């Protein structure tokens, strides 16, 4: 078993992760830091990095000449994969599988916010206005097309089915999966969305998914349809989305992610009346460490035992 292992935990609540790691593995050395600016230690001594990829740049990764394993605290590892200094011998694992509850609640929040026109209700409350002039549409009986049929997609699909929606998934590997009434091939998406009421994107980033929600897809949506995005901004043709929103060719959008983040102050998305947006907070839930820590500790145990091939959520690169 490896014992001489130095771990850098780079996360807002790094102290929580460090405490649990030290309790579980007394022989390892753990350095918790909340921000890159605080990481003033000798990076050449780091064997293991536990972090969200968004905080890491290539220069930092290049400095970690001893780095043997990266445990991403996010499902997506595209930030790490884009770093040229990521060495092929460095093990990369993701946090895939822990986000189902958060993703389904975020989708429900955005869908209900849009269908109930919550911003309008907030304005009425601020104005002390009692108004019953607009009936809101039920989710029950509607059709949702869900791009992404992995762990998060399945969790979202199960909740939507409980609401009474018919849920159609799209995947490059159509199959039977819980949470879906049917799964079609991704190539059929423009045709598939013609009758949908909600197009929901939970697709991860990566070259294979770039621009997947295309201009042709948005053009096929009916005027009463809503678009919900909790996946990655790069998977969406945002110029096409802006066009259909401005022209009223779809009813609206609930957006948690964007191609450029933070969303620039000059972005027109901020001011569109049929858009409700949040600042990529779908995965920013208070109990995050409770979901991530069992995975991190399990993988650390396998890593220290040299059982690298048995580590969970291995990402080839």
Give the residue numbers marked as catalytic: 232, 280
Residue 91's SS3 state is strand
Burial class, 271, CB count within 10 angstroms (exposed 0-12 / middle 13-18 / buried 19+): exposed
Q: CB–CB of 227/250 below 8 Å?
A: yes
Q: CA 312 to CA 292: how far, in whole Å?
A: 12
> Which of these, 200, 191, 153, lies nearest to 175 by C-alpha position?
153
| Dihedral angle computed from the Cα positions of residues 282, 285, 288 and 290, in that order, rounded to the nearest 10 degrees | -140
Do β-strands 6-10 and 29-33 pair in parallel, antiparallel, or remain unpaired?
Answer: parallel
Q: CA 314 to CA 188: how far, in whole Å?
A: 30
């Amino acid at each position: 078993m490896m014992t001489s292992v130095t771990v850098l935990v780079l996360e807002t609540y790094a102290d929580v992760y460090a405490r649990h790691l030290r309790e579980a593995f007394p022989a390892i050395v753990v350095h918790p830091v909340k921000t890159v600016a605080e990481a003033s230690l000798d990076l050449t001594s780091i064997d293991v990095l536990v972090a969200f990829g968004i905080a890491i740049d290539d220069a930092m990764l290049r400095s970690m000449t001893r780095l043997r394993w990266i445990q991403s605290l996010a499902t997506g590892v595209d930030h790490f994969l884009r770093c040229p200094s990521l060495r092929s011998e460095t093990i990369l694992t993701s946090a895939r599988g822990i986000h189902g509850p958060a993703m389904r609640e975020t989708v429900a929040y955005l869908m209900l916010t849009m269908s109930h026109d919550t911003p309008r209700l907030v304005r009425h409350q601020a104005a002390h206005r009692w108004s019953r002039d607009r009936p809101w549409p039920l989710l029950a009986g509607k059709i949702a097309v869900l791009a992404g049929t992995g762990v998060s997609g399945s969790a979202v699909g199960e909740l939507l089915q409980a609401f009474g929606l018919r849920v159609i998934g799209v995947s490059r590997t159509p199959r039977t999966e819980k949470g879906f009434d049917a799964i079609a091939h991704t190539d059929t998406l423009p045709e598939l969305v013609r009758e949908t009421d909600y197009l929901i994107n939970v697709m991860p980033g990566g070259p294979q998914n770039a621009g997947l929600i295309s201009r042709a897809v948005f053009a096929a949506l009916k005027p009463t349809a809503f678009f919900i995005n909790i996946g990655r901004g790069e998977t969406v043709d945002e110029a096409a989305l802006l066009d259909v929103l401005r022209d009223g060719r779809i009813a609206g959008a609930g957006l948690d992610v964007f191609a450029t983040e933070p969303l620039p102050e000059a972005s027109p998305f901020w001011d569109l009346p049929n858009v409700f947006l949040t600042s990529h907070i779908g995965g920013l839930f208070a109990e995050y460490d409770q979901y991530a820590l069992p995975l991190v500790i399990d993988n650390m145990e396998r890593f220290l035992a040299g059982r690298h091939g048995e580590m969970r959520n291995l990402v080839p690169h």
